[in-house]
Amino acid sequence: MTVSSQNASALAPVFVRLKLSLIKNGLRQSGGRQAAYITSAVLALLFAALQLLGLIALRGSEHAGTVTLLLVALMALGWTVMPLFFPSGDETLDPTRLVMLPLRPQPLVGALLAASLVGIGPLFTLCLILGSAIAVAHGAGAVVVAVLAVPLALLVCIALSRAVAAANTRLLTSRKGRDLAVLSGLVIAVGFQFVNFGAQRLGESGGLSALDPVADVVRWLPPASAIGAVGSAGEGSYGQAVLQLLISAVTLGLLLYAWQRSLVKLMTTPDGSTLAASEASRKESGGKGLTSLLPEGRTGTVMLRTLRYAWRDPKTKAAWITSLAIGLIVPALNALQGHGSVYFACFATGMLGMQMYNQFGQDTSAFWMVLLSISSTRDAYLELRARAFALLLVTLPYTLLVTAVTAGMLGDWTKLPEVIGLALALLGAMLATGSVASATLAYSIPQDSRKNVAPGQGGIAFLSILGGMVVSAILCAPMIALAIWLHVSGNHGSLWLLLPLGAAYGALIAWAGLKVAAPRTANRLPEILTAVSTG
Amino acid sequence: MPDQAFEKTADTAGGARTAPPAVRVQGLWKRFGEQIAVAGIDLELPAGKFIGLVGPNGAGKTTTLSMVTGLLRPDQGRVEVGGHDVWRDPVAVKSRIGVLPEGLRLFERLSGRELLGYSGRLRGLPGAEVDKRAAQLLDVLDLAGAQHKLVVDYSTGMRKKIGLAAALLHNPEVLFLDEPFEGVDPVSAQTIRGVLERYTASGATVVFSSHVMELVESLCDWVAVMAAGRIRAQGTLAEVRGDATSLQNAFLELVGANGRSAGDSLDWLGGGAR
């Protein structure tokens, strides 16, 4: 080991070998992991190769500049947010493991940067950047610039990721960081909806020229500015090319400096994960105002706890935000694309109604506190009703909002009353089936993983949610039939009747569902506790 | 035997105590698949005492306490708390007991104070009374400084203390604590002890499980020894200890672990390098 020589050029090979050994040993641990790694590696490389070919094929196209700039910018964005969502992705990324070694910061940063270049991710990125450079490099000058620009852009991506990770190590190893990681799946899911929509819009508007104004800004932002420099050199504007290269180079320097500073701070101060937790003395939470508005007794107490959990518990919060976001995105996007209907607004109600399912699983094994306080069917009824009320507090206004937004976007206000009526009937049916399913088909939600069902309980979860939705649809059938009949028979003047009828019908079914669920809950308390405690 | 004992107390009705036992367990069984966790135990725990349920890991202590407190349904048997059947008369039982289970979560995304407020109101106490009691409990248990912190950020000792506070809030007659001192630092342990001693002095009953004999010996006046799902002995500390020098030795004798010394098999161990 030449570690003591304090020389970056000597240290770098040591770290690169360390990284390779870590990858190799990680693979040796299990066959499944090996298979997964090889599969993902092959797929990533295949994709990278195709992308490389595609980008080269793009050469000469009038939109080549725009596409390459945006691709590189997106890639850089990916590298920036990745450490926040996958904090434990790379062990060499954890500088706290190197604290006991006699290393100076500067050589260490160099060596860590070199080690970071090893892996599928960097190789994939290299393919993309190389392809982009080839696509836009016209002329000898551009090729010279590209030789500098490609490694520069790659290094900026990696340094960006490392600097963000080092700056946030404290956060990422704390409880808050783990909470954030649970929420990450949600960001990806919602983000995917937008990307999907954006791609559709692009396809419809018939061209990439819509993106040109964005590219004009991005060409000055590192590391895309390095690729922009290749394009500028190809067009003969060498001054602009040098400036763009310089922007990326200076950024790389700043990032490395920031990374080094975070490293020094991390390695010379005690681990703050416990300190940070204890100093955070929360002030009296905003629940005070809400407490005075909620009714006394079990109803208000349970509602307040449910609402606090919707906000503070990462799993519950993720479920709520997904429902709220998807519930709005689906009807709104369909309306935007012009082939929607106001009836799509019921989607939001359905998504939020699903929160009523597996109520006690959401409590985790803390359900024992509820168990000890329920000694009669009446208690169980009040408990379930309070949870339904908490749900209604959000769902009712949201249903009205989504329906109004969808109707407004489609300019179809006449359908508003009937859709709200049907949504309320659906909501009542979901609350009813949800409370019965909570009592009879409870399952655990593991708290420390991204999974939403404990191993072995997938069948119960499937039966609970799918069965519940089918039964909800059947329960709503009378209202749906009435709506169809009014439409078919031409009684459009009476369609508003669906609003009061739907509201009354929904309330009636919800009440009946709670009445059916309450004795089942009260009689099965120990069984429910066992079912929700396995995760 | 139990009947006789009961008649005796009934006969001396004019005497000091006529109260029924705090907990009476008859023929309690629990099986998990092939494994028998609790194999037909009978227990009679006197009221107003500090009672220790001791046994090695896996003896069935947690399973027994879970069944006694209504958290787990027994396969067979009867449990009465203060003369009320746990499974037939939950209204009477649940208001009379306080429980601190082991290995189950609390509502950790509430602050310590919010957790007590939730727990007390759920049990039907008026809001103002809950807040008053919560403030006092947090003070006595040395949690006042952390009352607005989320329970998820609490240490093991703090969790045990906030769990104890939640179990005491409605002033139960019988308190069941599963391993209340497990993983607790000495300072917190002393605080918990102080609160529990004050509580039993007022005539209430504490039943707690532990595998630390010294602790049980110093705290309890009544002991039940469990091993492999059965009760091996029960009675006052002096009765269970018998002729043995300590509860530890009496316990080892009861579960048949005495005399299992290493013998000659490790004769190379220690005594200089060889």
pLDDT tens for residues A343-390? 888 889 998 999 999 999 999 899 999 999 999 999 999 999 999 999
- CA distance linking residue B138 with residue B191, whole number of Å: 11
Which residues does chain A have within 8 Å of residue B70's beta carbon, measured at their own beta carbons?
A: 371-372, 525-526
Which residues of chain B are at the A interface, by a Cβ-Cβ cutoff of 8 Å?
A: 69-73, 90-91, 93-95, 97, 99, 101, 103-111, 114, 117-119, 121-124, 127, 145-146, 148-150, 152-153, 166
End-to-end CA distance of chain B: 60
Q: Kindly report the nearest CA distance between residue A368 and chain B, in angstroms.
A: 7
Q: In this predicted structure, what is the pLDDT of residue A311?
A: 87
What is the 3 state secondary structure string of A442-456? CCCCCCCCCCCCCCC
Q: DSSP letters along A394-411, please?
A: HHHHHHHHHHHHHHHHHT
What is the 3 state secondary structure string of A268-310? HCCCCHHHHHHHCCCCCCCHHHHHHHCCCHHHHHHHHHHHHHH
Nearest by CB to B111, from A282, A370, A371: name it: A282
Phi first, then psi, for residue A88 (nearest 5°) are -100, 20
Provide the greatest CA pair distance for chain A: 90
Inter-chain touch A280–B149, beta carbons under 8 Å: yes
- CA distance linking residue A54 with residue B26, whole number of Å: 78
- CA distance linking residue B216 with residue B206, whole number of Å: 12
- CA distance linking residue A101 with residue A50, whole number of Å: 43
Q: In this predicted structure, what is the pLDDT of residue A234?
A: 82
- CA distance linking residue A526 with residue B90, whole number of Å: 12
User: Given a cut of 80, is residue B114 above it in pLDDT?
Assistant: yes
Are A266 and A95 in contact by the 8 Å Cβ rule? The answer is yes
Q: In this predicted structure, what is the pLDDT of residue A220?
A: 84
User: Given a cut of 70, is residue B165 above it in pLDDT?
Assistant: yes
- CA distance linking residue A514 with residue A383, whole number of Å: 10
Q: In this predicted structure, what is the pLDDT of residue B15?
A: 39
The type of residue at B6 is F
Q: Kindly report the nearest CA distance between residue B10 and chain A, in angstroms.
A: 31
User: pLDDT per position in chain A (535 positions), as tens?
Assistant: 444 445 556 788 888 888 888 777 777 766 666 777 788 788 888 888 888 888 888 777 777 788 888 888 888 888 887 777 665 555 555 666 777 777 788 888 888 888 888 888 888 888 888 888 888 888 888 888 888 889 999 999 989 888 888 777 766 666 776 677 666 666 776 777 777 777 776 666 656 666 777 777 778 888 888 888 888 888 888 888 889 889 999 999 999 998 888 888 877 776 544 444 444 444 444 445 666 788 888 999 999 999 999 988 888 888 888 888 888 888 888 887 777 788 888 889 998 999 999 999 999 899 999 999 999 999 999 999 999 999 999 999 999 999 999 998 888 888 899 999 999 999 999 999 999 999 999 988 877 665 677 777 778 888 888 888 899 999 999 999 999 999 888 888 888 899 999 999 999 999 999 999 999 999 999 999 999 998 6
The type of residue at B120 is G
Q: In this predicted structure, what is the pLDDT of residue A105?
A: 80
Q: In this predicted structure, what is the pLDDT of residue B10?
A: 38
Q: Kindly report the nearest CA distance between residue A373 and chain B, in angstroms.
A: 6
Which residues does chain B have within 8 Å of residue A529's beta carbon, measured at their own beta carbons?
A: 71-72
CB-based contacts of B158, cutoff 8 Å, min separation 6? B112, B143, B146, B188
User: Given a cut of 50, is residue B14 above it in pLDDT?
Assistant: no
Q: DSSP letters along A368-387, please?
A: HHHHHH--SHHHHHHHHHHH
Nearest by CB to B106, from A281, A366, A375: name it: A366
**Percent above pLDDT 70 for chain B:** 89
Q: In this predicted structure, what is the pLDDT of residue A337?
A: 75
Name the residue among A221, A205, A214 with its Cα closest to residue A76: A221
Nearest by CB to B148, from A283, A313, A374: name it: A283
Closest residue in chain A to residue B153, using alpha carbons only: A277
Inter-chain touch B148–A296, beta carbons under 8 Å: no
Inter-chain touch B70–A525, beta carbons under 8 Å: yes
Interface test with B, best of A279, A293, A372 (most B CBs within 10 A): A372
* Contacts of range A307-311, beta carbons closer than 8 Å, 24 or more positions apart: A307/A390, A307/A393, A308/B109, A308/B110, A308/B114, A309/A362, A309/B107, A309/B109, A310/A390, A310/A394
Q: Kindly report the nearest CA distance between residue A370 and chain B, in angstroms.
A: 8
Taking the whole predicted model, whether its pTM rises above 0.90 is answered as no
Question: How large is the average pLDDT for residues B192-197?
Answer: 91
- CA distance linking residue A266 with residue A278, whole number of Å: 19
Nearest by CB to A175, from B99, B105, B153: name it: B153
Nearest by CB to B118, from A284, A301, A368: name it: A301
- CA distance linking residue A356 with residue A510, whole number of Å: 11
Please, which pLDDT band fits residue B25 given cuts at 50, 70 and 90?
A: very high
Please, which pLDDT band fits residue B118 given cuts at 50, 70 and 90?
A: very high
Inter-chain touch B153–A277, beta carbons under 8 Å: yes
The type of residue at B160 is K
Asked if omega into A223 is within 30° of 0 (cis), the reply is yes
Which residues does chain A have within 8 Å of residue B94's beta carbon, measured at their own beta carbons?
A: 372-375
Inter-chain touch A369–B111, beta carbons under 8 Å: no
Q: What ranges do the domains of chain A cover?
A: 3-268, 294-532
The ipTM estimated for the assembled molecules is 0.88
Phi first, then psi, for residue B102 (nearest 5°) are -110, 135
- The encoded tokens of residue A46 equal 């295949």
Which residues of chain A are at the B interface, by a Cβ-Cβ cutoff of 8 Å?
A: 175, 277-278, 280-285, 287, 296-298, 300-302, 304-305, 308-309, 312-313, 363-366, 368-376, 525-527, 529-530, 533
CB-based contacts of A64, cutoff 8 Å, min separation 6? A58, A135, A136
Angle at A359 between CA B85 and CA A444, to 5 degrees: 85
Inter-chain touch A376–B91, beta carbons under 8 Å: yes
- CA distance linking residue B223 with residue B207, whole number of Å: 9
DSSP structure class, residue B21: P
Q: Kindly report the nearest CA distance between residue B80 and chain A, in angstroms.
A: 15
Inter-chain touch B94–A285, beta carbons under 8 Å: no
Going edge to edge, which strands form the sheet with B23-32?
B35-45, B23-32, B76-81, B84-85
Q: In this predicted structure, what is the pLDDT of residue A58?
A: 78
